[in-house]
Structure 1
Amino acid sequence: MTQVTRFTGDAAPYREGNEPYADYRTADIPFGHLVDLADRRLGAGVIAANDEFFAERENLLNPEPAVFDPERFGHKGKIMDGWETRRRRGAGAGTPHPADDDHDWALIRLGAPGVIRGIVVDTAHFRGNYPRAVSVEATTAPLASSPEELLAADVEWTPLVPRTEVGGHAANAFPVDVERRFTHVRLNQHPDGGVARLRVHGKVAPDPEWLAALGTFDVVALENGGSVEDASDRFYSPPTNTILPGRSRKMDDGWETRRRRDQGNDWVRYRLTAQALIRAVEIDTGYLKGNAAGWAALYGRDETAGADEWHEILPRTRLQPDTVHRFLVDAPAATHVRIDIFPDGGISRLRLFGSLTGTGAKALAERTARLTTP
């Protein structure tokens, strides 16, 4: 295992008056643009942990960066924004140190099944109380599996990150090269300590049987296997927000670009679940009031037909601020969609309701079968 980032030793102790983020250690992470499969907004959850004495396991998956309040203490000690276990001890006075295989663990249900491309174990603000090493494993099981079912002896766990030393107050990143579809991960810290955030970056691999039963669904939604391939601008917020579940809750929960000073326009290109026929479009500008896009147009392209040209799905149409816009459309099959906004601004959500073609359903089923074969 080659870490993308390798930080060793403690971070400098926090000194009163110093900015607590000043010496936070991070680097460019090549897989960081991929969706976080462990995002709580997708339905992820930390379903069990063997110990959470100092700080709750649920903090691991908070989408916001960890924060630090130097004045915040509780009955058990310093309150940390992460998952923190008590200090492990040995068996007795003659062996006061924990055994080599002693460790703490947390079970995480991914928000959407997928292929994992990289993991970030973020120890932000854990300076002298982070784990010496971590390891990560993954398995495939029904999403509603109980902790007891996942911890059963017959469950096969695939190593993704071997036991590796990490650094404090740092984003410790690990690439993953396992071409399998997983639903759950287990984070281990050796022997104990605290982790602020866990990010599991990858590509969603939805259940084709479930989508077939639905028939008509949102063919660009992240949870259904849609994804953002590229965008003209990500200045204020990422375009992946536009295909998250639910409505946006605030202005930065959508996609917003910087102000243009030229005669161009901004755009996002999406890959659909598979080849699909789109019959209804929803463009939501919720919470974008003085900065919503003025107009929008939609185009489609069918990669399976070898087509390079884009066909029109929705002509350039006026948008209103903080409004849900709905359109019925009749367009040819597509594997990709591009939304153009004019001249700049943002949208909060894009929904493309339709159904997979026979070709698309077959391709999705074959892809899923390859990913579930050991």
Structure 2
Amino acid sequence: MRDLVENEEFTLLPDLAVRPLGGAVIWADDEFFAEKENLINPGPADYRPSTFGHKGQIYDGWETRRHRGRPGDDSAIVRLGVPGVIRGIVVDTAWFTGNYPPAVSVSALEIDDYLPADSIAAHDDWVVLIDRSPVVGDSRNLFTVESEKRWTHVKLTMHPDGGVARLRVHGEGRPDRRLLGIGPLDLAALENGALVLDCSNRFYSSPNQLLYPGLARRMGDGWETARRRDDGNDWVHIRLAGPGMIRLAELDTSYFLGNSPGAARLTGRTSDGTELELLPRTALLPDTRHRFPIAPMAASVEEVRLDIYPDGGLARLRLYGELGA
């Protein structure tokens, strides 16, 4: 397999379409050989040779029938788990060699109403993000997106037919602003607009998973660093959903037993760069949801740094509070 674009920086951003974030493939005009839902499964596509069902070789992806003169192209629509700004898209044709599409295009739509899938498919406001472009089989085909608009749905179109293993839609969450401030707010939730800006190490898994909704279901659902062999410590830097006052911090080490951090510290940063200690260095237990009240703050913070000592893994980070003025 090979990459068509050398710059993969946007792939460090969260995949807004992935199933664990609540993404769903809501519509496709054909899925004769392989189900559309496979497009957004977490993890790379799998392949087992000589595994045949009633419709042929079983593929871990989305595959349509051969057109045989049937007009038009094949499309699938994904409702993003986290609506947001899209920075790049990966059309992964892993394991599709003689049956991948010659070309693809991607369009997007912003619509917060809960409409039936057929109505969304027939919507006339779709905006092209990626023009019809050639793709290569058994490859991660990368495309950058130049748009600052917020999107809720994407449509992948194959020209004319074939199979795609995975669709990754990397970007930054942008919530429905009408819903913010109604009840307790997790200022560190990806779906509310928080974003990992940087981290010291992402050897085993992405730090973006710290900000995922729901509880982790296994160790691989969190953030885990490599073992350190020096005197330093690992850290992650997060931009909050907006400047806010944090009242409660939850540091969840669920499923991390022999590899949980020994301790952690939280530091906030205000808009003028002032640093505020939110949680002093505090011992952590393995496989535990720790909840720490945060003392009243002197000012709203817009960024947070989580230091773990010396290394290890966390399942989730929650920072509950309210948006500042």
Using the size of structure 1 for normalisation, the TM-score is 0.84
Q: Distance in 2 between matches of 1:260 and 1:108?
A: 39
Query: How far does the alpha carbon of each residue in 1:12-38 deviate from its partner, in whole angstroms, 9 at most, with x for none?
Result: xxxxxxxxxxxx223551211111111
1:325 matches 2:295? no
Q: Distance in 1 between matches of 2:263 and 2:141?
A: 42
Runs of 5+ consecutive residues of structure 1 not aligned to the other structure: 1-23, 91-97, 359-374
Aligned length: 321
Partner of 1:105: 75
Within a 5 Å distance, the mapping from 1:133-282 to structure 2 comes to: 133-142=103-112, 144-152=114-122, 155-214=124-183, 216-282=184-250
Compared CA separation, residues 151 and 260, structure 1 to 2 (3 A):
closer
Using the size of structure 2 for normalisation, the TM-score is 0.96
* Cα pair 2:77 2:121 within 8 Å, conserved: no
Q: Distance in 2 between matches of 1:193 and 1:152?
A: 22
Partner of 1:89: 68
1:75 matches 2:40? no
* Cα pair 1:142 1:183 within 8 Å, conserved: yes
- Report sequence identity in percent: 54
- Which of 181-190 and 325-334 deviates more? 325-334
Computing the radius of gyration over CA atoms, which structure comes out larger, 1 or 2? 1
Structure 1 consecutive aligned stretches of length 4 or more whose deviation exceeds 4 Å: none
SS in 1 for 2:68: coil
More strand by share: 2
**RMSD of the alignment, in Å?**
1.2
Query: How far does the alpha carbon of each residue in 1:75-112 deviate from its partner, in whole angstroms, 9 at most, with x for none?
Result: 1101100000000012xxxxxxx55xx20011110111
Deviation, 1:143, is: 5.4
Residue number among 71, 92, 114 corresponding to 2:84 in the alignment: 114
Q: Distance in 2 between matches of 1:128 and 1:284?
A: 45
1:354 matches 2:325? no
Partner of 2:2: 25
Runs of 5+ consecutive residues of structure 2 not aligned to the other structure: none
Query: How far does the alpha carbon of each residue in 1:92-134 deviate from its partner, in whole angstroms, 9 at most, with x for none?
Result: xxxxxx55xx200111101111111111110000001001110
1:124 matches 2:98? no
Partner of 1:60: 39
SS in 2 for 1:212: coil
1:316 matches 2:293? no
Q: Distance in 2 between matches of 1:201 and 1:345?
A: 26
